[in-house]
Chain A
Amino acid sequence: MTEDQEQQIRRQNLAFFGAITASVSHELSNVVTIINELSGMLGDMLDATDKGKELDNEKLRRLQQRLANQIPRADGIIKRLNRFAHTSDQPVMAYDANAAIGNLIDLAQRLASLKRVKIEGALCNDVASVEGSPFMMLNAVYLCLKQAIESASEGDTIAVATMCDKTELTISMRSSGGAHDGNELPYESLVSSLVDKLGGTLTLSSSSGESRYAISLPRSARK
Chain B
Amino acid sequence: MANEKVLLVDDEAEFTSLLASRLEERGLRVETASNGAEAVEKVKQGTYDAVILDLAMPGMDGIETMKSLLEKRPDLQVILLTGHASIEKGVEAVKLGAKDFLEKPADLAKLLQKIKDAKTERMLLVEKKIEEDLKDILKSRGW
List chain A positions with a Cβ less than 8 A from chain B.
Answer: 25-26, 29-30, 32-38, 40-41, 44, 66, 69, 113-116, 154
Check A114 against B58 for contact (C-beta < 8 Å).
yes
A41 contacts B18, C-beta separation under 8 Å: yes
Interface SS of chain B: loop
Closest CB in chain B relative to A31 CB, distance in Å: 9
Size range of the interface on B?
20 to 34
Q: Are A38 and B18 in contact (CB under 8 A)?
A: yes
The 9 closest A-B pairs by CB, nearest first: A36-B105, A37-B18, A29-B83, A33-B105, A33-B104, A113-B58, A116-B58, A34-B14, A114-B58
Q: Which residues of B contact A44 (CB under 8 A)?
A: 22, 25
B83 touches A30 (CB 8 A): yes
The prevalent SS among residues of A at the interface is helix
Q: Would A34 and B15 count as touching, CB distance under 8 A?
A: yes
Q: In whole Å, how far is A114's beta carbon from the nearest beta carbon of chain B?
A: 5
The answer, yes or no, to whether B46 is at the interface (CB within 8 Å) is no
The complex places the Cα of A152 from the Cα of B58 at a distance, in Å, of: 14
Q: Mark B1-42, 1 if CB is under 8 A from A, else 0.
A: 000000000001011001101100100000000000000000
Return the CB mask of B76-108 against A: 1 if under 8 Å, else 0. Answer: 000000011100000000000000000011101
